[in-house]
Amino acid sequence: MSYEQSLPGEFALTGEEGKRTRARGPERLGDFVYPRFAYKPHERSGGSAPERVPVVVAGAGMVGLTFAMDLALKGVACVLLDDNDTVSAGSRSIAQARRTMQIWSRLGAASPMFAHGVHWSKGHTHYSDRCVLSFEVFPERESRFPPFVSLAQYYVEDFLVKRAMEIPNLDIRWRHRVAKVEARSDIVGLIVETPDGPYTLEADWIVGADGARSTVRQASGIDFPGDRLRDKFVIADVKLFGDLPHERNFWFSPPFYDGNTVLRVPQSDGIWRIDWQIDPDGDAQDELDPDVVQARLRRMLGDIEFKVEWVSTYTSEHRLADTFRKGRVMLVGDAAHQLSPFGGGRGGNSGVQDADNLAWKLAAVVKGQAREKLLDSYSAERRPIAVRNIEDSKLSTEFITPKSPHSAALHSAVLALSGVAPFANAYVNTGRFSVWPVLETSPLSRPDGDPFHAQGRPGTPAFDSRLSAPGGGEAWLGDRLGDDFVLVLYGAQADAPFEEAALKKASEALFPIGFQRIVPGARAEGAELADIHGSFASQYDARPGTAYLFRPDQHVLARWRSVTIEKIETAVRATLAGGETC
């Protein structure tokens, strides 16, 4: 990780603390003690040939760790390089979305995050001295996970590293910095710098998870156009000694900070993220003066006792890589797309979704199960989502800090009317929250051949239905999907006959394909799941015989009212060919 590479923007600690932080990172933040991961010198092989590995991942932030873990768990040897030896400085990405938790659950890393994080779903928006809008995030979706688990990035990365160290095939090298990348048609050559000097490394593939200033992206000649915003904010992790409800609060021009915005979000350990807008033409360093910070917070918090644990300033940029794949180079997370923090938690979460999308594809290519063309679908699927995230982030940022007289007029009109006229509430925009988007542009999705509701169409991420397991215990559909293709068939054998033996044969010939049968209403028997609440039938427009084929990243690939092994084989074969019909 690099403290000045990732969003949200430029971190600029001051004084002695700043010097120490920039040099090695902080020692602790609240109750969190920063780990120091052991540096190991590169072991040179006996011969003169450089070390060669299948995949190198640059950057062990939350996205790089997620990707490398997923790949290694799929049996692909992976070297993960990072220029630091600890985790993120400051809380940074704190809103871990439901979908992100599902991905980490699949990787065996979610439990400690779920236990340690703060779960929130309610929020309030204030204008001047009145609350104009109270909301609940995604209340309609049932899932094992809440809409958001609020957990600082340093905790997330620490839990990920602990899990990563248990995974064979994953070689994490701390204080090994990617200094040079040369990608050719047949190989990627790297110069890696360490405290003991540089060494050469060769890889079949490289994945850049090395942040907005990605060395991998720059060395590959992939442009990263975009804009730098004028707005400046102070960001602080503040321990509050008071009994505040775990809810998000956003203020427009509050009495305690007239003319500006303030955001307050709970984290674990009694720490809250507090952001406040500052004069874009002023000196940001002045705003980091401890007396100024204390005075601002005192006005915001009234009688609540507090302790500032970490503070910095940031500005934002919106940038997008021209492509997420160029030959043997792929980009994920901030290396591929950069958002303002008012994207509703889309920065870190969309990066983890990038990793989820790419890992199974690259693993399949490395293992010879899929054609290289499958990798093109990564950029085709994820880049349009990044475009939309940036557009949404721009709209949120424009509403929060209007730049033109027209948007200022709209901003004032909406805030004046919100709480008075319910329709105006929809226009209040303090960040549209991270969603798990449909892959609308996927070259892999199989068009519907049978009549279905639009919900659950190919490209849709799986809805996490609550089911009943054999024996009567609770089961979640999301836990039954992932890593392999999975066919989910709705209906008892008598109503929806299907020969599992044929599926097993196809699995052996093509790619592992799991099987789940869900029966309506009744108690489950054998290996079946029971849709006792009717949620699967409702969410998936299912009736006896309906079948859904899910991809290894839990997205719908195809669906049919009546399935045959030939339909399944055709869909899987075309997917592994990158969307081409064989």
Partner 1 sequence: MLKLEKVPAGFDVDRAYASLLRLSDGRTEEETRQALAALVLILLNQIEETGALDEAIALVDSAMPRKTD
Residues in Cβ contact with 231 at an 8 Å cutoff, skipping those fewer than 6 apart: 277, 280, 315, 316, 397, 401
Closest distance to partner 1 from the beta carbon of 249 (Å): 23
115: contact with partner 1 by CB under 8 A: no
Cβ 430 vs Cβ 396: under 8 Å? yes
Select the span of 87-95, 414-422, 484-492, 495-503 touching partner 1 (CB under 8 A). Answer: 414-422
Residue from the set 203, 358, 414, 488 that interacts with partner 1 by CB under 8 A: 414
Q: What is the DSSP letter of 459?
A: T
Burial of 247 (0-12, 13-18, 19+ CB in 10 A): middle
Closest distance to partner 1 from the beta carbon of 4 (Å): 39
What's the token pair of residue 197? 């000097």
Nearest alpha-carbon partner for 212 in 382, 415, 1, 33: 1
Select the span of 160-168, 407-415, 467-475, 522-530 touching partner 1 (CB under 8 A). Answer: 407-415
Q: What are phi and psi of 280, to 5 degrees?
A: -65, -25
Please, which residue, 369 or 412, has the CB nearer to partner 1?
412
DSSP characters over 356-395 = HHHHHHHHHHHTTSS-GGGGHHHHHHHHHHHHHHHHHHHH
Select the span of 258-266, 390-398, 421-429, 504-512 touching partner 1 (CB under 8 A). Answer: 421-429
**Distance of alpha carbon 143 from alpha carbon 119, whole angstroms:** 13
Please, which residue, 117 or 419, has the CB nearer to partner 1?
419
Please, which residue, 253 or 441, has the CB nearer to partner 1?
253
425: contact with partner 1 by CB under 8 A: no
DSSP characters over 117-183 = SEEE-EEEEEETTEEEEEEESSTT---SS-SEEE--HHHHHHHHHHHHTT-TTEEEEET-EEEEEEE
Cα 339 from chain centroid? 13
Residue from the set 12, 308, 417, 502 that interacts with partner 1 by CB under 8 A: 417
Tell me the pairing of strands 329-331 and 337-338.
unpaired
Other CB atoms within 10 A of residue 129 CB: 10
Nearest alpha-carbon partner for 514 in 476, 539, 549, 544: 549
Select the span of 63-71, 331-339, 357-365, 403-411 touching partner 1 (CB under 8 A). Answer: 403-411
Closest distance to partner 1 from the beta carbon of 230 (Å): 21
Tell me the pairing of strands 337-338 and 317-320.
antiparallel
- From its phi and psi, is residue 403 left (phi > 0), alpha (psi between -120 and 50) or beta? alpha
406: contact with partner 1 by CB under 8 A: yes
369: contact with partner 1 by CB under 8 A: no
424: contact with partner 1 by CB under 8 A: yes
409: contact with partner 1 by CB under 8 A: yes
Residue from the set 421, 509, 522, 527 that interacts with partner 1 by CB under 8 A: 421
Please, which residue, 143 or 418, has the CB nearer to partner 1?
418
416: contact with partner 1 by CB under 8 A: yes
Closest distance to partner 1 from the beta carbon of 403 (Å): 15
Residue from the set 395, 410, 502, 565 that interacts with partner 1 by CB under 8 A: 410
Closest distance to partner 1 from the beta carbon of 414 (Å): 7
304: contact with partner 1 by CB under 8 A: no
Give residues 479-518 in contact with partner 1 (rule: CB under 8 A). none
Cβ 560 vs Cβ 449: under 8 Å? yes
427: contact with partner 1 by CB under 8 A: yes
Give residues 241-270 in contact with partner 1 (rule: CB under 8 A). none
423: contact with partner 1 by CB under 8 A: yes
Please, which residue, 353 or 429, has the CB nearer to partner 1?
429
Binding positions for partner 1, rule: CB under 8 A: 405-406, 409-410, 412-414, 416-417, 420-421, 423-424, 427
